[in-house]
Structures are given as structure tokens and as C-alpha cells.
Amino acid sequence: MANQSGMSPMLAFVLGAVLVAAIVAGYVYYQRTHRDVVKIDVPGFQGEISKDKGIDIQVGKDRQ
């Protein structure tokens, strides 16, 4: 008889599924937290330009 010291197929499948789930969760987290945003902050103008929200610029002294 041969000595079987390998990992069971079910355990290997579960570990693989956990690894894939962790990679997908990391990718989704990265995409949500690292948006491409250009911020504008010069005298008289303030705002930002992003892919998902478009252009948002305020002009004048009474901006908020």
C-alpha cells in the first residue's frame, strides 16, 4: 500500500473557492475606494471631475 499524505479533493476545492472569493472581494473593494477624480481648487472655482459623477464645479465666493 502506498502512503497517501496528499490533500483531499474536497478540501482543495474549498480552499480554492475561498481564495477566488477573497480575490474578487479585494478587486471590488479597490474599485469602490480608488475612483479616478480630478479635484479643482483655485480662487473663484472649486469642484471635481470624475467618471461616475461627471463634472461638478462651483463658481464664485458663496460656494459651499
Domain containing 36 equals 14-50
Q: Which residues pair with 49 in a beta bridge?
A: 38, 55
Q: What is the mean pLDDT of the chain?
A: 80
The count of domains in the chain is 1
Using a cut of 0.85, tell me whether the model's pTM lies above it: no
Q: Indicate whether 9 belongs to any domain.
A: no
Confirm whether 62 is domain-assigned: no
Contact present, 52 and 38 (Cβ < 8 Å): no
8 part of a folded domain: no
Task: List pLDDT tens digits, range 9-35.
Answer: 889 899 999 999 999 999 888 877 776
What sign for the dihedral angle of Cα 9, 11, 16, 21? positive
φ/ψ of residue 34, rounded to 5: -115, 75
* Cα gap 7→2, rounded to integer Å: 15
H helices of 1-64, in order, are 9-33
Is the residue at 26 inside a domain?
A: yes
